[in-house]
Amino acid sequence: MSKRKPKIAEVPAAREKVFALTERNSYCMRAVLIGAGVKINADEKLAEVTAALGTIAAGRTGTNLERASLIQLFGFTFGWLNALGVKMPYLAIHQERERQELLFRNGQHLFTCASPVASSTRKLRVLTEEVGEVAKALDQLEFAEDRKSLAIQTWRRELETELVQVAAVTVAWLESLEGK
């Protein structure tokens, strides 16, 4: 699952811990395989991501179920990124986490999902919005008339970007749980 992890010196300790956790978690590995599956279409992959999101929403916060569901969601999105041919997904996710923290430091966001004081409800809203953006990108891809048009390429890149953001939000949320 590695696909070029950032060097340890580049990664905050909590994020390195989360990346290591996802690599050795059997549920995450299963989710990576499902997400990377070539016989599973995008709608089925989105259904898996949405099911994990629903489990997080229905579960009690601060439980092992919340953590396991976040790990599974990370796995689905990581696998999907692999299936799309994204080069070095760990690095892309790490860079997105850095971007999120920069937006927070610059006052453009009120919090990041890595904050242990932000409620799970607020984090769920952020994650749900990102999954909605994945759905929007899929809709745009589906309704494009010419499969070789610039619009297809643009929405495919948008899908990749949104999947990286979903994965980065799950990593941030897991970072907050590791920090507790």
- Whether 7 maps to a domain, the answer reads no
Average pLDDT, consecutive stretches of 10 residues, N- to C-terminus, the chain (180 residues): 53 71 76 82 90 84 79 91 91 92 91 90 94 94 71 90 96 85
pLDDT of res. 147: 62
What does the pLDDT read at residue 8? 46
Cα gap 114→175, rounded to integer Å: 5
Q: What are phi and psi of 33, to 5 degrees?
A: -65, -40
Structural domain range at position 126:
12-179
Residue 3 belongs to a domain: no
User: Does residue 5 lie in a domain region?
Assistant: no
Instruction: State how far the alpha carbon of 2 is from the alpha carbons of 41, 54, 92, 125, in Å.
Output: 24, 27, 12, 29
Predicted confidence (pLDDT) per residue in 67-96, tens digit: 888 988 999 999 999 999 998 898 999 999
Q: Is residue 6 part of a domain?
A: no
Residue 2 forms part of a structural domain: no
| Domain assignment of residue 173, yes or no | yes
Q: Is residue 116 part of a domain?
A: yes
Number of structural domains found in the chain: 1
Size (the chain), residues = 180
The answer as to whether 1 is a domain residue is no
pTM score of the predicted model: 0.85
- Please give the pLDDT value at position 11: 60
